[in-house]
Amino acid sequence: MTEWTNEAAIQRWGSMPRAVLEQMAHDGDFAKRHLINPVLLRMLGDLTGQRVLDAGCGNGYLSRMLADRGALVVGVEPGQSLFDFAVEQETVAPQGIRYVQADLCALPELGAPFDAVIASMVLPAVPDWTGAMRACVHALKPGGLFVFTVNHPCFEQLWTTWREHGQYRTSRYLDEYEIPGPSGVDFHRTVSTYLNQLISLGCHVTEVAEPGLDPESAADGPEDIEAYAHLPNFLIVAARRAA
């Protein structure tokens, strides 16, 4: 078990430098553009008039993509520099997105229940991730759609180990451990840990995706990115709250 508190983890995420936030402001980074965004948008379907919660919205790139497609978006983000950046983008080019600065485990009243809640790359960043997942599910209408993405727990060091060894290598999977990153800390948990928690919240899993990079995009991507064409860097899960 981790000794990290949500507050300490948020503090780390919330000092992400502006240059990084700007770099990913439009549609995320290469991996999100090719592997996450298309799957999320397909799973969400027609967003016209849908109330959508972007839980842990970071710099707000996904909130803006969803609003572009007709969704009524609330973005929740506790980290200071990320929240400020998202609000600034909304001020400069208003899309009707409401940003709320909050920990998912201590959500203020957000209004009517949501048609869909997305937590993209957020649950691994939260020490009290079960509380965060519960809040996401409870924010939904009965029958509403919850989609979350995580770095695939089986292949978390994909790019770095592929670069080093020309293949994937790992030595531990079953423990919970910290994964320090340049902008914040993530926590490794197993696939079954995530799925069983979702099931215990009364959700019905409707789709599990492990997207791979198509070879053409791999050729245009960063060095050694062909690893992403052979092994899945992300796990994307869609589930419905019980009706």
Contacts with ligand SAM by CB under 6 A lie at: 6, 9-10, 13, 28, 56-58, 61-62, 77-79, 82, 103-105, 120-122, 125-126, 132
In angstroms, give the least distance from the CB of 135 to ligand SAM.
8
| Secondary structure class of 141 (helix, strand, coil) | strand
Nearer to ligand SAM, 7 or 164 (CB): 7
Please state at what angle helix 61-68 crosses helix 37-44, rounded to 10 degrees.
40
SS3 content of the chain, % helix, strand, coil (to 5): 40, 20, 40
Distance of closest approach, residue 20 Cβ to ligand SAM, in angstroms: 11
For ligand SAM, give the closer residue by CB, 104 or 203.
104
For residues 118 and 109, what is the distance between their CA atoms, to the nearest angstrom? 18
Check if the beta carbon of residue 218 is closer than 8 Å to that of residue 225: yes
Closest CB to ligand SAM among residues 37, 50 = 37
Which of 68, 226 has the CB closer to ligand SAM?
68
Question: If you search the block for the tokens 């485990």, which residue do you land on?
Answer: 105
Q: How far apart are CA 224 and CA 85, in angstroms?
A: 31
Nearer to ligand SAM, 18 or 169 (CB): 18
- To ligand SAM, the closest distance from the beta carbon of 6 in angstroms equals 4
Look at the chain and count its residues.
243
What's the closest the beta carbon of residue 203 comes to ligand SAM, in angstroms?
A: 19
**For ligand SAM, the closer CB: 138 or 204:** 138
Sign of CA dihedral 18, 19, 21, 26: positive
Minimal CB distance to ligand SAM: which residue?
Answer: 58
Phi and psi of 99, rounded to 5°?
Answer: -105, 135
> Considering the complex, what minimum distance in angstroms separates the CB of residue 12 from ligand SAM?
8
In whole angstroms, how close is the CB of 51 to ligand SAM at the nearest point? 18
Cα–Cα distance measured from residue 74 to residue 135, given in angstroms and rounded to the nearest whole number: 14
